[in-house]
A = this chain, B = another copy of it.
Amino acid sequence: MIQIYDTTLRDGSQRTDISFSVDDKLNIARRLDDLGVAFIEGGWPGSNPKDAEFFRRAAKMEWRHAKIVAFGMTCAAEKRAHEDENIRALLDAQTPYCAVVGKSSLLHVHEVIRTTPQNNLRMIEESVAYLVQNGRKVIYDAEHFFDGYKEDANYALQTLEAALRGGAETLVLCDTNGGTLPWEVGEIVRTVRKHFPAAQLGIHAHNDSECAVANSLVAVREGCIQVQGTINGYGERCGNANLCSIIPDLELKMGLKALPEGHLAKLTELSHYVAEVANLAPDEHLPYVGRAAFAHKGGIHVAAMRRTSRSYQHIDPELVGNRSRVVVSELSGRGNLLSKAEEYGLNLDEQFDVSSALKDLKGLEAQGFSFEAAEASVVMMLRRRQPDYQPPFELIDFTASVEHRQGRGMIAEATVKVRVNGEVIHTAADGNGPVNALDRALRKALRPFYPEIDHFHLKDYKVRILDGNHGTMATTRVLIDTSNGVSQWSTVGASTNIIEASWLALADSVEYGLWELSRRKTHEG
């Protein structure tokens, strides 16, 4: 069993655009435990009060699979371990494991911490030993190990020896700057193994040469039993080694166990969950877990996939909780559109004019719509062309206005006039912005007819300017993700007017939601 050591909450949060609250961290830790990783590095209690609070609260929780780890540095050059506040903070975190990072590179010893090589060895051994004497298991992170080894192999090995003398359980070789290539990692891990045949080794890689995953896998092949990394590869600069690729590579390609049996299928959901909490758009192109990881666009690939799914997929996407997708786009053929209709439970009869629907879709794409990420809008477009289609509401008018008057703050107001079942409803609402005001006015108009819309919640709202060189006159594309608590759907609108684009996406979203509910009722009824 390979030990998966997650450092999303510590090293991952060093990414430029990530900032987790304590609740965020605890929620992510809970999900990591549920996935079944061996270690969760929660933070650096000596560096900020947020992380100290995390450990206070984590200590009261139950963890099924993972050990919680507090991270810190060796004691300062001029201090003894027991006097160092950073080391004390590690003990205060009350975790079963501590990770202690120390210097392996003489460049860093001389120029960054500015001490003697000998004192650095003292700092490593003493810091590890003090924690071990206080009942902690210690994972020793050898910072810049590969760079340090290339500068002075002998000294780099001495630092590991110091950590072992202190009582470290595992020695983790860190490629802190991410500059090492796979064969160098392989060779250096092999040498370290020869020097310390009894020691447990780990690998901690960064992606600055775009080799972090390969480096981690090579290190495992050479005998490392622990892999440190982050969900989605988040981390400073170019990121840490991506556990969402490493775990399936280990399990599906190398035949090693890294998670409890059956847990691999939770990976895709976890990846998206962490992206959501980090408030980052999930990277659609991530291996294994990305929305496009098993997406097929080209006509020839789609045709081949229909013949044999292995033809353009390296694994069965369900193993990691993902699925194949056929993408609907301007490159689509009839097949793509028909598969999409089937997928959403829309029965198109034989009279249905697929070619004309496809032509309209391509026309809208030329105007700036993009249906790849807005399948509910595709479904509505098809649905509206069916002979039995009855719109749940028809828009007559809308207005939206925003005022900023000295001393009165911002005011946003909207009016909506719609026809529902032959009745004309005219409503007005204010909001904290024009789209919110429109949303509220529309809901106000529809609620008496469709009370279920109170369960529709906007999950995300994305805006993209398509032709930025046209300045504020550019076409705007709005994508809206809506959830009713059970399922989630995405719709699109495009216009040079951001309010109109938002309205189009909003109207599709409400209409799709109502249709899906009525369809489900029919099925259940």
Instruction: Mark A residues whose CB is within 8 Å of B.
Output: 14-17, 19, 107-108, 111-112, 176-179, 181-183, 207-211, 213-215, 217-218, 221, 236-239, 242, 245-246, 249, 253-254, 279, 284-288, 290, 292-298, 301, 304, 307-308, 310-315, 327, 329-331, 370, 372-373, 395-406, 410, 412, 431-436, 438-440, 457-466, 468-469, 471-474, 476, 481, 495-500, 503, 506
Could you tell me if B236 and A404 are in contact, using CB atoms closer than 8 angstroms?
A: no
- A459 to B499 Cα, complex, angstroms: 20
Q: Which B residues are in CB contact (< 8 Å) with A471? A: 436, 439, 457-458
- Taking CB as reference atom, which chain B residue is nearest A476? B433
Q: Which B residues are in CB contact (< 8 Å) with A209? A: 213, 245, 249, 253, 287, 314
Could you tell me if A500 and B295 are in contact, using CB atoms closer than 8 angstroms?
A: no
Could you tell me if A435 and B498 are in contact, using CB atoms closer than 8 angstroms?
A: yes
Counting from the closest, the 6 A-B pairs by CB-CB distance are A179-B314, A214-B214, A463-B463, A401-B401, A433-B497, A436-B472
Q: Which B residues are in CB contact (< 8 Å) with A214? A: 181-182, 210-211, 213-215
Other-chain contact of A295, B211, B237, B406 (Cβ < 8 Å) = B237
User: Is chain A's interface secondary structure helix, strand, loop, or mixed overall?
Assistant: mixed
Could you tell me if A217 and B182 are in contact, using CB atoms closer than 8 angstroms?
A: yes
25 contacts between A and B (CB under 8 A): A15-B285, A19-B331, A108-B311, A112-B304, A112-B307, A112-B311, A177-B312, A181-B254, A183-B221, A208-B293, A211-B213, A237-B290, A237-B292, A238-B286, A238-B290, A397-B403, A399-B402, A402-B497, A436-B471, A436-B472, A459-B469, A460-B468, A461-B463, A462-B463, A498-B498
Closest-CB distance, A399 to chain B (whole angstroms): 5
Q: Which B residues are in CB contact (< 8 Å) with A297? A: 14-16, 236
- Taking CB as reference atom, which chain B residue is nearest A439? B472
**Residues A497 and B439 in contact in the complex (CB < 8 Å), given A16-B284, A182-B218, A209-B287:** no
Q: Which B residues are in CB contact (< 8 Å) with A290? A: 237-238
- A243 to B207 Cα, complex, angstroms: 15
Contacts A16-B297, A237-B294 known; 13 new A-B pairs at CB < 8 A: A16-B327, A177-B312, A177-B314, A178-B287, A210-B246, A236-B295, A238-B290, A239-B285, A432-B497, A433-B472, A433-B495, A457-B471, A463-B463
How many copies of this kind of chain does the complex include? 2
Could you tell me if A293 and B238 are in contact, using CB atoms closer than 8 angstroms?
A: yes
Q: Which B residues are in CB contact (< 8 Å) with A396? A: 406
- Taking CB as reference atom, which chain B residue is nearest A481? B468
- Taking CB as reference atom, which chain B residue is nearest A216? B210
Q: Which B residues are in CB contact (< 8 Å) with A464? A: 462
**Residues A402 and B500 in contact in the complex (CB < 8 Å), given A213-B210, A460-B465, A465-B462:** yes
Closest-CB distance, A485 to chain B (whole angstroms): 12
Q: Which B residues are in CB contact (< 8 Å) with A183? A: 218, 221
